[in-house]
Chains A and B, each alone.
Chain A
């Protein structure tokens, strides 16, 4: 198991003081590594300390006293957030040096050697899924039609294809009075005075019906939502 390899390496190395400082410095431990540590928890206290030291400081750490470290290691392990980089680097460096000893035990060691070789895929957390899906959808829509960066106060012109109309591209011009960010359903609200009547239309920015968005101008505004324009003179919402 990884812990046994670690113990062998830890024997080579040394003192406990550096182990403690290293514990303070480096936080993370990979999920798999953590589970390995947890399984090793059940077996042997000294193994735990050495495994943590191995992760945190592959070259420097010299654990002398293994026994009393179990408590501090438990804290270090619990406080550890899952992060790949330090763990991956530590593991690869350590495994490279320990490969000589590792070859003694066939089945267990193969696991250790194989794991570091392919690059570890980051584990997707439940809370990230919607964000990742939204990102992918936005990228897919960006490939077909790049969306410019829109902000409140931009005067934009939008060319829309209405499927029921089937005529060439209705155009809408107006000032962006608000932008609601919601991933793929990010919408902007365009206001304009048409034929004497104020009209506000909400457009989903990443909609495939929108053929073109062009920022014509920008008006300096000091707000994120320009709802005050509804009460103001129509002159302020008129755009030729």
Chain B
């Protein structure tokens, strides 16, 4: 990967030089250089926050299957692991406690964006998932599926931790 980056860099520098020498192809070469650098950074996916329109899985047995985030309650850019969000239920089990179209609160228990811990470690999951809660923070469902991180303890979501099968 380092070799390919070096070769891409040399291509970029050569295109830059050509751009400096002539004005008319300069525009084309600068755009070429930008796409080169973009493609390299896109080799590693940049995971970001959970924001409006993010679809998340539901990790409990409250009846919903997929929810879409409407609002991240804390954070300017979006919600992270352990934060609470307001969501709208997009997909639900036929007989469950929540129905499609209902606006619910949820706690993010798995996020694809890494979250740093105080000892220098970082944790990231392969998917985004929430556990639906009520306004007071108590989970609606009775079981939680999949691993949950330690961070919930700090956010005072102890009930979810006790329901969880595995703590990451």
Chain A contact residues, CB within 8 Å of chain B: 162-165, 170, 185, 187, 194-204, 207, 209, 225, 227, 230
Residues 121-154 of B, flagged 1 when their CB comes within 8 A of A and 0 if not, give: 1111111010000000000000001110010011
Q: Establish whether residues A197 and B127, one from each chain, have CB atoms under 8 Å apart when the complex forms.
A: yes
**Cβ of A218 to closest chain B Cβ, rounded Å:** 22
Residue of A nearest to B164 (CB): A195
Cα distance A209–B146 in the bound complex, in angstroms? 25
What residues on B are CB-neighbors of A199 within 8 Å? 123-126, 147, 168
Q: Establish whether residues A201 and B165, one from each chain, have CB atoms under 8 Å apart when the complex forms.
A: no
What residues on B are CB-neighbors of A170 within 8 Å? 167
What residues on B are CB-neighbors of A203 within 8 Å? 121
Cα distance A170–B147 in the bound complex, in angstroms? 14
**Cβ of B148 to closest chain A Cβ, rounded Å:** 10
What residues on A are CB-neighbors of B165 within 8 Å? 195
**Cβ of A202 to closest chain B Cβ, rounded Å:** 4
Cα distance A170–B168 in the bound complex, in angstroms? 9
Cα distance A187–B123 in the bound complex, in angstroms? 13
Other-chain residue from B122, B146, B167 in contact with A197 (beta carbon distance below 8 A): B146
Other-chain residue from A165, A197, A198, A200 in contact with B150 (beta carbon distance below 8 A): A165
Is B166 at the interface (CB under 8 A from chain A)?
Answer: yes
Chain B contact residues, CB within 8 Å of chain A: 1, 44, 110, 114, 119-127, 129, 145-147, 150, 153-154, 165-168
| Known contacts A162-B150, A195-B145, A196-B146: A204-B120 contact under CB 8 Å | yes
Q: Establish whether residues B120 and A201, one from each chain, have CB atoms under 8 Å apart when the complex forms.
A: no
- A sample of 16 cross-chain residue pairs with beta-carbon separation below 8 angstroms, ordered by A number, consists of A164-B150, A164-B153, A194-B168, A195-B165, A197-B125, A197-B146, A198-B126, A199-B124, A199-B125, A200-B125, A201-B121, A201-B122, A202-B123, A204-B121, A207-B119, A207-B120
Given A195-B166, A207-B119, A225-B1, 12 more pairs with CB closer than 8 A: A165-B150, A170-B167, A194-B146, A195-B165, A196-B145, A197-B146, A198-B126, A200-B123, A201-B122, A204-B121, A227-B44, A230-B126
Which 9 A-B pairs give the minimum distances between C-beta atoms?
A198-B126, A202-B122, A204-B120, A194-B147, A197-B146, A195-B166, A209-B119, A195-B146, A201-B123
**Cβ of A147 to closest chain B Cβ, rounded Å:** 15
Candidate in B150, B166, B168 with the most chain A CB atoms within 10 angstroms: B168
**Cβ of A105 to closest chain B Cβ, rounded Å:** 60
Cα distance A230–B44 in the bound complex, in angstroms? 11
Other-chain residue from A163, A164, A197 in contact with B110 (beta carbon distance below 8 A): A197
Residue of A nearest to B167 (CB): A170
What residues on B are CB-neighbors of A196 within 8 Å? 145-146
Residue of B nearest to A191 (CB): B126
Q: Establish whether residues B147 and A197, one from each chain, have CB atoms under 8 Å apart when the complex forms.
A: yes
**Cβ of B134 to closest chain A Cβ, rounded Å:** 25
